[in-house]
Amino acid sequence: MLRTVITGTGSYIPEAIVSNDDFIKNKFYSEDGNIIESPSHEIIKKFEDITGISERRYVSEELMASDLGYIAAKKAIEDANIDPETLDQIIVAHNYGDVAYNSVQTDAVPALASRIKQKLGIINPSCIAYDILFGCPGWLQGVIHSDAFFKAGIARKILVIGAEALSRVIDPYDRDSMIFSDGAGATVLEYVETHSDSGIIASAVQSHCVQEANYINFGESYRPDSDPSIRYIKMKGRKVYEYAIKNVPLAMKYCVEKSEVDVRAIKKIFIHQANEKMDEGIIKMFYRLYGIKDIPNNIMPMNIHKNGNSSVATIPTLFDYVKHGWMDDHELKEGDIIMFASVGAGMNINAATYRM
């Protein structure tokens, strides 16, 4: 049986560590432009209690998102042991393109995929390189796209990358800026004959774009006297949380139903590393939909505590680490059924089940 199989993975986590203590001197403002009077250490302590984030990684000055994506892609290609000239497509998920250090402009022309194809030295003109903008679920959407292209007979081998340098678009006067980080993850997917039923089983995707469209957007700094022409990533945290807790478990359940697998057979759930409390809430609500009160032990790997939220990169970097045995207490074996799930700007949700 022909199935969509992940044959190689790679990731790049920047070396520069930014701890919560590095924000102690920041002055934070609310969305309405009023200064938050609470001491910074109290704001940061509450932030860590909610998000679980104590550290995050920022890219070095000379690198941009496409550089991170290239490094992760090269590792994935080596892991898959393929000739990059045989790739049919390169799909790059991101949100802000390349933003140079100390710049205020996002740059996505040419596409990041084109830049990464150039860096990889791929000459084959039939290797189509393009970007997708789908919020934090972008990498997973690229995987879902690949599965559809394979089944349509359009491609047999695709490189999907999620790369982001959010440290370049954060407002230092916004508490939510502490959530975001940088990184890249990449996967090689191939449409191959498999006798073990490994590969993608099913997927589900949703977009809610009426009241929800601007829950995550690009907006002015919260500091009243800041330059209004400069924009930063903005998030209505409470709205995003409530939306995710309500809608992501339903999409995950729909995906499981399409898969025709027993929810108890799922060994790991790789969920977008957005916020520890939110992710835990999503998993809890997901199992409640099945009448299961006790969440299976060790079901959800997490790296948000040290890596922060790198948007499109969180799932592929996390999966790469677990797949290669680089995370304590988590391992994957042949035949294991796992789930990927994400939520982000749009607002968009996706999920996929996969057999190792």
Mean pLDDT of 178-198: 94
Give residue 16's pLDDT band: very low, low, confident or very high (50, 70, 90): very high
| pLDDT(23) > 80 | yes
* Four-residue CA torsion sign, 303, 305, 308, 309: positive
Q: Would you state the structure tokens that stand for residue 78, as one six-digit string?
A: 């080596």
Are 309 and 53 contacting, i.e. CB atoms less than 8 angstroms apart?
yes
> Tell me, what amino acid is at 230?
I
> Tell me, what amino acid is at 61?
E
Q: Would you state the structure tokens that stand for residue 126, as one six-digit string?
A: 């039939």
| pLDDT(104) > 90 | no
* CA distance linking residue 238 with residue 36, whole number of Å: 17
pLDDT of residue 220: 93
Give residue 285's pLDDT band: very low, low, confident or very high (50, 70, 90): very high
Mean pLDDT of 31-46: 92
pLDDT of residue 207: 97
| pLDDT(46) > 80 | yes
pLDDT of residue 43: 94
pLDDT of residue 78: 98
pLDDT of residue 76: 98
Give the CA-trace dihedral at 26, 32, 33, 34, to 10 degrees: -80
**CA end-to-end distance (rounded Å), the chain:** 15
Lowest mean pLDDT among 7-11, 71-75, 193-197, 247-251: 193-197
Q: What's the predicted TM-score (pTM) here?
A: 0.96
pLDDT of residue 103: 86
| pLDDT(96) > 80 | yes
User: Which residues on adjacent β-strands are paired with residue 231?
Assistant: none
% of the chain residues with pLDDT over 90: 95
Give residue 195's pLDDT band: very low, low, confident or very high (50, 70, 90): confident
Half-sphere exposure (Cβ direction) of 71: Cα atoms closer than 13 Å: 16
SS in 3 state form for the chain? CEEEEEEEEEEECCCEEEEHHHHCCCCCECCCCCECCCCHHHHHHHHHHHHCCCEEEECCCCCCHHHHHHHHHHHHHHHHCCCHHHCCEEEEECCCCECCCCCCCCECCCCHHHHHHHHHCCCCCCCEEEEECCCCCHHHHHHHHHHHHHHCCCCCEEEEEEEEEHHHCCCCCCHHHHHECEEEEEEEEEEEECCCCCEEEEEEEEECCCCCCCCEEEECCCCCCCCCCCCEEEECHHHHHHHHHHHHHHHHHHHHHHHCCCHHHEEEEEECCCCHHHHHHHHHHHHHCCCCCCCCCCCCCCCHHHHCECHHHHHHHHHHHHHCCCCCCCCCCCCCEEEEEEEECCCEEEEEEEEC
Mean pLDDT of 36-50: 93
* CA distance linking residue 187 with residue 34, whole number of Å: 44
Mean pLDDT of 149-156: 96
pLDDT of residue 194: 87
As to burial, measured by CB atoms within 10 angstroms (0-12 exposed, 13-18 middle, 19+ buried), residue 39 is: exposed
**Tens digit of pLDDT for each residue in 215-248?**
999 999 999 999 988 999 999 999 999 999 999 9
pLDDT of residue 310: 97
Mean pLDDT of 187-207: 94
* CA distance linking residue 93 with residue 112, whole number of Å: 9
**Tens digit of pLDDT for each residue in 108-125?**
999 999 999 999 999 999
| pLDDT(276) > 80 | yes
C-alpha triplet 166, 136, 343: angle, nearest 5°: 140
- The full set of domains in the chain, from first to last, is 2-193 (3.40.47.10), 199-355 (3.40.47.10)
| pLDDT(295) > 90 | yes
pLDDT of residue 304: 95
pLDDT of residue 334: 93
| pLDDT(196) > 90 | no
